[in-house]
Amino acid sequence: MRTRDVLRFARDAGAGYPLRTSLSILAMAIGVAAVVVLTALGDGARRYVVAQFTSLGTNLVIVIPGRTATGGFNPANTITRTPRDLTVEDAAAVLRLPGVQRASPLAAGNSEISVGGRLREVLAIGVAQPYVEIRNFQLQQGTFIPDMDWSRTLPVAVIGAKLREELFPGQAAVGQFMRVGDRRVRIIGVLKPSGQGLGMNTDELVFLPVALAQALFDSNTLFRILVEARSRNHIEGVKQEVATLLKARHGGEEDVTVITQDAMLATFDKLLRALTAAVAGIAAISLAVAGILVMNVMLVAVTQRTGEIGLLKALGAEARTIRHAFLAEAGMLSLFGAIAGYLLGQLATFALRQAYPAYPAYAPDWAVAAALVTALTTGLLFGIMPAQRAARMDPVQALMKH
Amino acid sequence: MALIELAGIERVFRLGDADVHALAGIDLSIDSGEYVAIMGQSGSGKSTMLNLLGLLDRPNTGTYHLEGRDVTTLSPDEQAAVRSRRIGFVFQSFHLVPRLTAAENIALPMSLAGIPPAERDRRVAKALKDFGLDNRADHRPDELSGGQRQRVAIARATIMHPALLLADEPTGNLDRATGEEVIHLLETLNQSGVTLIIVTHDHNLGARAARHLVMEDGRLTSDSRRPASADFSS
């Protein structure tokens, strides 16, 4: 039998049972759409995080107080439990390292601010002047914290755009005074709205000189030191230099963790890729289920069309022809299911992107390809058994079932 | 030369513990162009005989020569090729594919045999005309009368120009007048050279054939042309 005739025969056979055919196409479509949508969510999360990290700055090396367990067992950890504070002096020493372009200490804490009787809880960040360049912040009005001795507690503040709108609706904020904790500070700048920045919305932050923030929080320790290497090639060197320097400054103890933005990015990237692959795997189960459904439908079709199979054999159809006809039907169910599922999935991710513009929900190409290939293979694979059953049928027995 | 040559054919079915001889000691020769009726009660083995002649079933022992060729030893696919080219079937219940139109049903053996569409269309058009189905080409079986359905089935059975036409109770599902019409059609085909074998338990129908074979318990008990060979079992 010619291939075109086999395909036409299979198509007509499928079209002869519209409900059953459309249900199995739907099952396959849902399977494929599930893979497309779930991997779009997973990969969207990855892209989102990567974008967030990139917005932190470029060539970043970050110093975190305390030792994370990633360095393996260190005997020093068993002797002393409390790490030394990470101090402004440490940050100043880091700044003098050769590969370092910029560095800024960073202290953070919750604080209460008040303007004209209005109270608000905010996250206050103590930084030095280089911070604005490291983070590449743009100012809407005024200036950032001035380049000055990091130990000075100059009573000035820079606020985020959203905070400005809340505290000074419809009026200039620069030059105004506000209370932060028990200090009275003058606002010298307002940041442009950005909304970016991993976990904290910079539009709602108050930036203070680091010494002022530490005095406010009554603490000497820093939350982070942000370091910008001279270039991408300097990142690893700077990481080593910073680690060595701080170990020396802390009496030979490795009580800080130095991470690079690249490494962090790579970790998150790896993690979220694994997550995407995992959800793809879970969604693939629904494809297997759809495959089994196709098999079920084909088995029913074989039983229902037993008489027809007998007739085809009487009319001179070879076993191969009958096998091909049923396989083609199973293949068509899978193919149309896969196409419908692909379109459904693209539609769903499009809707997601419309609803959440910040979230780049695009299904990765490998997932789409894998979903389509899996759909077709499971459909054909599960189609083999029913097709064999049809092809092996005894024509006399089959003809009697009419 | 004989079209069909059966020698020592046995067909045994196993039913539970017992062996049932559906066909036993069949020796038979049918010449090309004959008109044969196989008659007998139900269970006499006439259907098994028809299945065997149509290469749908294989004997346990014995040989079957069709057009001088031993077809008992052929592989299933080789037998399918013989069915496709040399044998046409007409069934009591028509056996039309319900989702295909009359024209598509008639074309089915040709598309199974891989005949090009242009040739198929040409032959189908001729068959529709010959069998008086011109204006029924695009009707599905459920839109056709019983007589029309059987005419479509006969057109399908002869579209590959077979040497042998096997009809199993071809009038069984038809009223008297329509049945008469269908038999007349089959006889016309026989007169044009096709060997016609009809299986029936209807004596009126059987009587029309030039040669009568009567079966009982899997044996040929009477052959109207060779009565001497029919009595060896009794």
| Nearest C-alpha neighbor of B105 from the set B178, B158, B164 | B158
With contact defined as beta carbons under 8 Å apart, do B163 and B86 qualify? yes
- pLDDT surpasses 90 at A193: no
Cβ contact B56–A307 (<8 Å): no
Share of chain B above pLDDT 70, in %: 96
Who among B80, B93, B116 is closest to A313 (CB)? B80
Q: What is the mean pLDDT of residues A109-130?
A: 91
Confidence of residue B231 (pLDDT cuts 50, 70, 90): very low
Q: What is the mean pLDDT of residues B102-128?
A: 95
- Taking the CA of residue B227 and the nearest CA in chain A, the distance in Å comes to 31
Candidates B97, B100, B161: best to mutate against A (most CBs of A within 10 A) is: B97
pLDDT score for A78 = 54
Residues 116-155 in B contacting A (C-alpha not used; CB under 8 Å): 116
Same-domain pairing of A280 and A169: no
pLDDT score for B229 = 41
Who among B98, B99, B114 is closest to A2 (CB)? B114
Query: CA nearest A305 in B: which residue?
Result: B97
Question: How many domains, chain A?
Answer: 2
Confidence of residue B232 (pLDDT cuts 50, 70, 90): very low
Q: What is the mean pLDDT of residues B42-53?
A: 91
Residues 167-226 in B contacting A (C-alpha not used; CB under 8 Å): none
- pLDDT surpasses 70 at A352: yes
CA end-to-end span of chain B: 30
Q: What is the mean pLDDT of residues B57-69?
A: 94
Asked whether residue A183 is domain-assigned, the answer is yes
- Taking the CA of residue A372 and the nearest CA in chain B, the distance in Å comes to 30
- pLDDT surpasses 50 at B54: yes
Domain boundaries, chain B: 34-59+75-231
Share of chain A above pLDDT 90, in %: 52
- For the ranges A28-37, A64-73, A122-131, B57-66, which has the lowest average pLDDT? A64-73
Who among A5, A314, A321 is closest to B54 (CB)? A314
Asked whether residue A220 is domain-assigned, the answer is yes
pLDDT tens-digit series, residues A232-284: 888 889 999 999 999 999 888 888 888 888 887 888 888 888 988 898 888 88
Nearest 5°: the CA angle B37, B47, B45 is 95
Chain A hits for B87, CB-CB cut-off 8 Å, are: 316
Query: CA nearest B57 in A: which residue?
Result: A396
Who among A308, A315, A319 is closest to B112 (CB)? A315
pLDDT score for B233 = 41
pLDDT score for A269 = 86
- pLDDT surpasses 50 at B226: no
Q: Can you tell me which residue has the tokens 């009794």? A: B234
Q: What is the mean pLDDT of residues B190-214?
A: 92
With contact defined as beta carbons under 8 Å apart, do A234 and A59 qualify? yes
- Taking the CA of residue A319 and the nearest CA in chain B, the distance in Å comes to 7
SS3 of B6, please? Answer: strand
With contact defined as beta carbons under 8 Å apart, do A255 and A84 qualify? yes
Amino acid at B194: V
Asked whether residue A261 is domain-assigned, the answer is no
Chain A hits for B81, CB-CB cut-off 8 Å, are: 316, 318
Residue B31 vs residue A198, higher pLDDT: B31
pLDDT score for A348 = 95
pLDDT tens-digit series, residues A276-327: 889 888 888 888 888 888 888 899 999 999 999 999 999 999 999 999 999 9
Confidence of residue A199 (pLDDT cuts 50, 70, 90): low
Amino acid at A154: L
Confidence of residue A76 (pLDDT cuts 50, 70, 90): low
pLDDT tens-digit series, residues A171-187: 888 999 999 988 999 99
ipTM, interface predicted TM-score of the complex: 0.91
- pLDDT surpasses 70 at B36: yes
Confidence of residue A83 (pLDDT cuts 50, 70, 90): low
Same-domain pairing of A317 and A172: no
Q: What is the mean pLDDT of residues B28-50?
A: 92
The residues, any chain, with a CB within 8 Å of residue A244's CB and separated by 6 or more, are: none
| Nearest C-alpha neighbor of A137 from the set A153, A155, A159, A122 | A159
Asked whether residue A68 is domain-assigned, the answer is no
- Taking the CA of residue B99 and the nearest CA in chain A, the distance in Å comes to 6
State how far the Cα of A325 lies from the Cα of A304, in Å rounded to an integer: 15
Cβ contact A12–B100 (<8 Å): yes
Same-domain pairing of A290 and A238: no
Q: What is the mean pLDDT of residues A111-115?
A: 91
Same-domain pairing of A347 and A217: no
Same-domain pairing of A366 and A296: yes
Query: CA nearest A402 in B: which residue?
Result: B95
Cβ contact B89–A312 (<8 Å): no
Asked whether residue A66 is domain-assigned, the answer is no
Give the dihedral sign, CA B205/B210/B212/B213. negative
Same-domain pairing of A195 and A99: yes
Show which of A227, A252, A277 is a domain's final residue.
Answer: A252
Chain A hits for B54, CB-CB cut-off 8 Å, are: 314
Tokens of A349: 């991710």
> Which structural domain range is residue A163 located in?
84-252
pLDDT score for A190 = 93
State how far the Cα of A248 lies from the Cα of A245, in Å rounded to an integer: 5
Superfamily of domain B34-59+75-231: P-loop containing nucleotide triphosphate hydrolases (3.40.50.300)
The values of phi and psi at residue B165, to 5°, are -115, 120
- pLDDT surpasses 70 at A72: no
Does the pTM exceed 0.90?
Answer: no
Share of chain A above pLDDT 70, in %: 94
Same-domain pairing of A306 and A204: no
Determine contact: B74 vs chain A, CB below 8 A. Answer: no
- pLDDT surpasses 90 at A169: no
Residues 370-399 in A contacting B (C-alpha not used; CB under 8 Å): 395-396, 399
State how far the Cα of B209 lies from the Cα of B120, in Å rounded to an integer: 32
State how far the Cα of A217 lies from the Cα of A112, in Å rounded to an integer: 11
pLDDT score for B228 = 39
Tokens of B215: 């079966």
Show which of A208, A223, A252 is a domain's final residue.
Answer: A252
With contact defined as beta carbons under 8 Å apart, do B90 and B170 qualify? yes
Amino acid at A307: G
Asked whether residue A163 is domain-assigned, the answer is yes
Same-domain pairing of A26 and A138: no
> What is the full DSSP assignment across A388-399?
HHHHT--HHHHH
Tokens of B87: 């044998």
Q: Looking at the DSSP assignment, which residues form a beta bridge with residue A184?
A: A179
Same-domain pairing of A270 and A391: yes
With contact defined as beta carbons under 8 Å apart, do A86 and A65 qualify? yes
State how far the Cα of B137 lies from the Cα of B102, in Å rounded to an integer: 5
Confidence of residue B234 (pLDDT cuts 50, 70, 90): very low
Same-domain pairing of A283 and A247: no
Same-domain pairing of A216 and A346: no
Asked whether residue A271 is domain-assigned, the answer is yes
Same-domain pairing of A151 and A27: no
- pLDDT surpasses 70 at A229: yes
The residues, any chain, with a CB within 8 Å of residue A400's CB and separated by 6 or more, are: A310
